[in-house]
Amino acid sequence: MITSKLPNVGITIFTQMSQLAAQTGALNLSQGFPDFDGPQALRDAVGRHIAQGHNQYSPMTGLPALRQQIAAKIARSYGANVDADQEVTVTPGATQAIFCAIAAVVHSGDEVIVFDPSYDSYEPAVQLAGGRCVHVQLGLDDFAIDFQKLGEALSPRTRMIILNTPHNPSGALISRAELDQLAALIRDRDIYLISDEVYEHLVFDGVPHASVLAHEELYRRAFVVSSFGKTYHVTGWKTGYVVAPAALTAELRKVHQYVSFCGVTPLQYALADYMAEHPEHVDELPDFYQAKRDLFCDLLAPSRFNFKRVAGTYFQLVDYSQIRPDLNDVDMAVWMTREHGVATIPISVFYQNPPQGQRLVRLCFAKREETLREAAEKLCVI
């Protein structure tokens, strides 16, 4: 008889809602992936490198040319200098990077603080490392960190805090002032950070992304994680990276080498080429996705959903309290999929203890214009 190490874990809500969308023929605005392709030059580069024979193992730490491009992008974006050899590691996806960082420093009995609503991969990774998550709820209206609650949650067993900015599912941002506040709070404590910044280039309205990479004090204790899939519209490539000080990187790589050893070689070659040839891509992303956000929100304005335009990510939260207050968000998501042809994600699944009366679902606007128009038409008649 198997004794499960994750007894409370089943199929993720993302898989469930995507499957339901496929079964019903609904528009899938649930799982966070674009319905359009990445840049043609990037896709062409993959075929070129496969044809050139770049099909064997890459270095465990990642292709040198790609690590150098990552370091160059960080210097350009945040004014921070990181060592491509000692501080940058390419991984098969950001989720694997997060898993390895947790496994590297969390010991049995350690506590890890996560902010609810929190992305679903954090807690299972902590549990598998023998740790325990302590959940601190973000503000109900603004999804901001409550530093009084955070301070009360700290204990001698606190080993790690996991940040997520821009935040999935809310789209909220952590400011530089909040990073300063966090630094002061944990300055004299032996606590590590994971800063999940996979949506780092999807920040809108002219607001700069406050990266932990640019916060010298916090970076000294941090693993900063990002995703090529999000940045280059190729989520199925499952390629990401983690940047950390040399001592933390060494510990992370000890785990990474036994989880996957390395990432996919031709994809790394293609990304290195494209980053070198098109550094402007990341600079253009905020306007690209803000245009989609604004179009979608303008189209939803006549609906009965209430919402504030998100500050980052490619997710828009909408409140359905004026439509079906009798339904919890899971039932609402199923009802919308089956009866109105639009699949969404309920927000309660991101909480340990969902707030009473919260009526929010998450919509992905990383879609073609025609998809957004069709979805909005369906949503406006609910």
Q: What are residue 194's DSSP bridge partners?
A: 162, 223
Place of tokens 């032996």: 190
Query: pTM for the full model?
Result: 0.97
Q: Establish how many alpha carbons lie within 13 A of residue 24's alpha carbon, considering only the half-sphere containing its beta carbon.
A: 20
CA distance 213 to 197: 10
Tens digits of residue pLDDT in 41-93: 999 999 999 999 999 999 999 999 999 999 999 999 999 999 999 999 999 99
pLDDT value, residue 241: 98
Mean local confidence (pLDDT), 192-219: 98
pLDDT at residue 1 in the model = 85
Do 284 and 87 form a contact (C-beta atoms < 8 A)? Answer: no
Q: Can you give the three-state secondary structure of the chain, one letter per residue?
A: CCCCCCCCCCCCHHHHHHHHHHHHCCEECCCCCCCCCCCHHHHHHHHHHHHCCCCCCCCCCCCHHHHHHHHHHHHHHHCCCCCCCCCEEEECCHHHHHHHHHHHHCCCCCEEEEEECCCCCHHHHHHHCCCEEEEEECCCCCCCCCHHHHHHHCCCCEEEEEEECCCCCCCCCCCHHHHHHHHHHHCCCCCEEEEECCCCCCECCCCCCCCHHHCHHHHCCEEEEEEHHHHCCCHHHCCEEEECCHHHHHHHHHHHHHHCCCCCHHHHHHHHHHHHHCCHHHHHHHHHHHHHHHHHHHHHCCCCCECCCCCECCEEEEECCCCCCCCCHHHHHHHHHHHHCEECEEHHHHCCCCCCCCCEEEEECCCCHHHHHHHHHHHCCC
Per-residue pLDDT reduced to its tens digit, 135-154: 999 999 999 999 999 999 99
Q: Answer yes or no: are the C-beta atoms of 349 and 330 closer than 8 Å.
A: yes
Band (pLDDT 50/70/90 cuts) for residue 115 is very high
Polymer length in residues for the chain: 382
